[in-house]
Chain A
Amino acid sequence: MNLKNFRFETDADGIALATWDSPGRSMNVITPEVMDELGRIIDKVAGDETIKGCVITSGKEAFSGGADLTMLQGLGAEYKRLVKAKGEEEAMRFFFEESRKLSLLYRRLETCGKPFAAAIHGVCLGGAFELALACHFRVLSDVDATRVGLPEIKVGLFPGAGGTQRVARLMQTGDALQMLFKGEQIRPLMAKNMGLVHAVASRDRIVETAKEWIRGGGKGIAPWDVQGFKLPSNKVYSPAGMQIWPPANAIYRRETHDNYPAAKAILQAVYEGLQLPMDRALTVESRYFAKILRSKEAAAMIRTLFVSMQELNKGARRPADVPPSKLRKVGVVGAGFMGAGIAYVTALAGMDVVLVDQTLEAAEKGKAYSHKLVSDQIMKGRAKTADRDALLARIRATADYADLKDCDLVIEAVFEDPKVKAEVIAKVEAVIRPRAIFASNTSTLPISGLAQSSARPKQFVGIHFFSPVEKMMLVEVIEGKKTGDRALAVALDYVRAIKKTPIVVNDARGFYANRCVMAYVREGHLMLMEGVPPAMVENVARQAGMPVGPLSLNDEVALDLALKILKATKAQVGPEAIDPAQEKLLVAMVEKEGRLGRKNRKGFYDYPENGPKRLWPGLAALQERKLDPDAIDVEELKQRFLVAQALEAARTVEEKVITDPREADVGSILGFGFAPFTGGTLSYIDGMGAAAFVELAKKLAKKHGDRFKPNRLLNRMARDGSTFYDAVARVAAAEAKKAA
């Protein structure tokens, strides 16, 4: 056989070994060529009487990450062409047949008559794990890096190559649904306990274990193809089924607010599939897969959470001509909550950390936070005591600025006060080497202003972390007016090293993420003052797709901080820049009621010692009027939450704070959890089209105020029908042309 992606050899016992090792790639990926070759392997094994069975393994450090998602995008383009050429139904028929090819291929493997076994080392995810599930036997290496799973749901898809049907036939329905909903990567022993794989062996024994299974008479027939197969949870319509399905449907709504069609498709595909024989079940799964593949949610999520995120992580915005920086030692000044978190993630990434505070005691306290975080990981079995010792050994707590002298990068995370920051800048610059980069972690103070205190503004950059640092995956890298390319490159290299996703933003009050967040919180405040019941403000925000209600979020950030920012804006920009209703609310809460948020256990919520937080009953008295909840247009409330943020994002584009829509989108989902199913703030606008968005914004402006007025950029886009991503594509095309 002439194969490019597999090595194929048959041993003396007649057991074939197909070793997947696609040339020129670090990771095996399912492509049309791979599918074609796998088909030929199946034919060969099935047709050659001397071959008893076949083991599939990988020649790389990992098994495979699954299918090439861009392959699926190509299918969409052909579908659109066919709609015009042959009409909707014909185009759909083509799309359906094409999108189910992988599923049919795996079914062919499963029913070819010869036993197939998968010997898996490293990650085996998505379509690749679906291949393994179609094999009659699966063995995993016991190495820590080995993981199996079906993560499709995370990009708005679902396992469409038999995954939903096979998983639901391997384990209890409730467990299967949970696995498919979560899309987690599963460790070897857990996978075996769940019944996903048959065996776990040492890395050098996996192929042999698979071969032994075939030699020992392993049959080439799946359990569900054996007469008399019983479903793990009995029939759907059975007393057991009545215990499973109604809560599963309810939990779907609780977890997704019915915003994720892929998750609903999983439910429906499993429900229907379990009532059908395997071949028909797979057909039904394919029907839903074709439908979900065309959904705007999947398109938006694939673009933002897969393609764009990967590009940003690979340094899409990094100045290309700066050589990669090797960061060995990083200084962190200020060992408060932010500084302590920064020290932890830096040490976790293997860098040495010098953690400075005014006293040694304060610095040690910051270091103790790392001790606590690793200890939590140890408790969960995700780290060992030795890891903690090694990590803590990399952090040096000190009160002496001179200890920063050989740092490659110093990040300050001191109190948000220009004077304090200026002092720190001077102290640090006095000791660090000329080429070292100074970064300020500020959330409110413009970088260019801070850089005025710097003697070396070219080496001065902003690195804005989100709280809590160890959990939040986004970092805003801020270019001041004088920030040089090398400073930017070092900052991006650092963010990469700590495995977070950077977006590069230009210097302006609030940068990007916090501006959107403030618009979100303000909308919640204003709804409250309009007379919307407080619980409705919170619940509808979550229904709109936000992870936390605006009142909860404000409680976390602190109400006095919100009032302080409001007052500062009023003083600096003028009274028309703020909303008097919001000011009235915050003044009443902070100054009259002394309610500051979670920090004093009194905010929009009460935080009792025992038991969950509850909305403060006194809020009702702050509302001058109360709307009848049944008369409130909930859809409009949802729109207000998302539109307010999207408008702010569009303003940052017009103001050139954001220069790349990928950064706005990725940043909005990672930074503040903007409704992921939309693909992010700008994809939300692109998704409905600028014209429709502008119309909606105008309608809201008329009803609720000028804050909803679309800016010039949006009005122009509405007129010429362009999208944010068009602009990117045009620039890319123009640059390509120039280069040629």
Chain B
Amino acid sequence: MPDAYIFDHVRTPRGRGKPDGALHEVTSLQLATHALRALRDRNGLDTKLVDDVVLGCVDPVGEAGGDIARAAALNADYGHHVPGVQINRFCASGLDAVNFAAAQIMAGQHDMVVGGGVESMSRVGIGASGGAWPVEPEIAIKSYFMPQGVSADLIATKYGFSRDDVDAYAVESQKRAANAWEKGYFRNSVVPVKDVNGITLLDRDEHMRPSTDMQSLGQLKASFVQIGEMGGFDAVAMEAHPEIESINHVHHAGNSSGIVDGASAVLLGSRRAGRAAGLKPRGRIRAFANIGSEPALMLTGPVDVTEKVLKRAGMTVKDIDLFEINEAFASVVLRYHQAFDLDPDRVNVNGGAIAMGHPLGATGAMILGTVLDELERTGKQTALVTLCIGAGMGTATIIERV
């Protein structure tokens, strides 16, 4: 079986996902095009060698609909022979795009594939693609559907994380992200987004609030109290976890992932394909896995999938130097620490989505790149990337430097 190597990765900076965000005027297609072009140009890539472009996108409707991956490949002038496919596994779509690309290579059917993702949350809107899961009664009821924030609060309640715990985590995320930006740890991967005249629209993650402290977060009201009580979702949470007397709502905008716009792309290929293109591998996909987890908790999939992928790879938690778990909500990360008794200094060392934002379909490929950069910078070897996913799933990838 051929190995799948990582040759390079790029991402856009993440723009605030609101009408006043710097990337709001950039279409989904342009965001994705931007990432694909950057990946090609900085590697002098002969796109004739690219077999497929796999892009994650969570709300693939409107301008992001109808297979944005093919449109982006064409628009980025990869050549008409380069096909594209858009995939959706909610928040892990970007990482799954990388894994799908790797799988094609490992299966020996493709030699070089781009995996990545795009999401313009400010333009398309979260939830714009609808879907049966929260709406159609049979599945919504069966799966204990609740908004992710209520599930995050359920995790905090069940596993004993207080408002102070989650806020403290958020403060730390901001600090780490600010430090990483200041020291230029992201410099190698973040490609500024420019307008048609070459004027830079954004060259830095726009969502960050480095001055965040416990006091400023303390001002914020928990976001999911009303929907939990009036919408009946607290009752759903307690029905699934009846040992709980009442839900402790702790999450708010300051300790949850930010809504942002962005795109990412990772170039993967076999060793032979890399050699043919004159590329030096930076990393190797060691293993990956997907799993379904308890749907009411919804966001504890990273724990389950980490166990699964480690077992598949014949590794233990000790064999992993760095963990990168998407900061969908603070409780998700705290539960991950708790489940594996992890030293926080090995997890999300350069901050995460609480500080920098979570452009849904793009994030997985972004944080894979972030942790690869960090492995190189610190001379470490292995990293595990994972994301929690709507409807109770988890995706994880183990990478190692070569």
Contact = CB atoms under 8 A, between A and B. Distances in A.
Nearest to A245: B135
Interface in B226-249: 227, 230-233, 235-236, 238-239, 241-246
A629 interface: yes
B239 A253 contact: yes
Interface size class of A (residues with CB under 8 A): 20 to 34
Interface stretch (A44-52, A123-131, A235-243): A235-243
A495 interface: no
Contact of A264 (B130, B141, B146, B230): B141
Interface in A233-292: 236-237, 241-242, 245-254, 257-258, 264, 267-268, 271
A452 interface: no
A543 interface: yes
Interface centre among A246, A534, A614, A634 (most CB of B within 10 A): A246
A617 to B, nearest CB: 10
Category for how many chain B residues contact A: 20 to 34
B136 interface: yes
B242 A536 contact: yes
B83 interface: no
Contacts of B134: 242, 245-246, 249
B232 A254 contact: yes
A539 interface: yes
Contact of A242 (B127, B137, B238, B245): B127
B226 to A, nearest CB: 11
A426 interface: no
A610 to B, nearest CB: 16
A53 B241 CA distance: 58
B214 interface: no
Interface string B364-384: 000000000000000000000
B325 to A, nearest CB: 22
A315 to B, nearest CB: 41
B220 interface: no
Contact of B245 (A258, A271, A615): A615
A445 B171 CA distance: 65
A535 B244 contact: yes
Nearest to B238: A539
B135 A268 contact: no
A439 to B, nearest CB: 42
B147 interface: yes
B135 A271 contact: yes
A536 B239 contact: no
Interface string B37-53: 00000000000000000
A246 B239 contact: no
A535 B130 contact: no
A536 B241 CA distance: 8
A634 B242 contact: yes
A242 B127 CA distance: 9
Nearest to B237: A250
Given A242-B135, A246-B145, A267-B137, A253 B242 contact: no
Interface string B127-170: 10010001111101100111100000000000000000000000
A533 interface: yes
A257 to B, nearest CB: 7
A629 B294 CA distance: 15
Contacts of B141: 249, 252-253, 258, 264, 267
A534 B246 CA distance: 12
A540 interface: yes
A242 B126 CA distance: 12
Nearest to A269: B137
A395 B238 CA distance: 47
Interface of A: 236-237, 241-242, 245-254, 257-258, 264, 267-268, 271, 533-536, 538-540, 543, 614-615, 629, 632, 634
26 contacts: A242-B127, A245-B135, A245-B136, A246-B146, A249-B141, A249-B145, A250-B146, A250-B233, A251-B232, A251-B235, A252-B141, A253-B141, A253-B235, A253-B236, A254-B235, A258-B141, A267-B141, A268-B137, A271-B137, A539-B239, A539-B244, A539-B245, A543-B242, A629-B241, A629-B243, A632-B243
Interface of B: 127, 130, 134-138, 140-141, 144-147, 227, 230-233, 235-236, 238-239, 241-246
